Structure 1
């Protein structure tokens, strides 16, 4: 099974969603876009992995549109 961590980054917040490969939503939350928010995401990934021992962890972020 895989763990997916998807992030949507804006100037003030980080929206993050954790899913497994069976499309089970493990957690969805909004964090501050600062070092504290990034550290919270960084801490959650190994915590989820410790519970389920995922074969692969995929981290992604939204694609930004080019400024026209």
Structure 2
């Protein structure tokens, strides 16, 4: 589907949570997003579903080390 106006909204991070489970050695990441066009026109705004991601603790530590 082509956008006839030539511009799109962008994802705006509105909520971010991290939970660590020591017993299972994994990290849960939860994020929520809002389309930046939602404040202009809710009819043209894209609805982004919440995201839940689970990664191993060792992978999370490796990613943090790279940052």
TM-score interval (norm. to shorter)? 0.3 to 0.5
Higher relative contact order (CA 8 A, sep 6+): 1
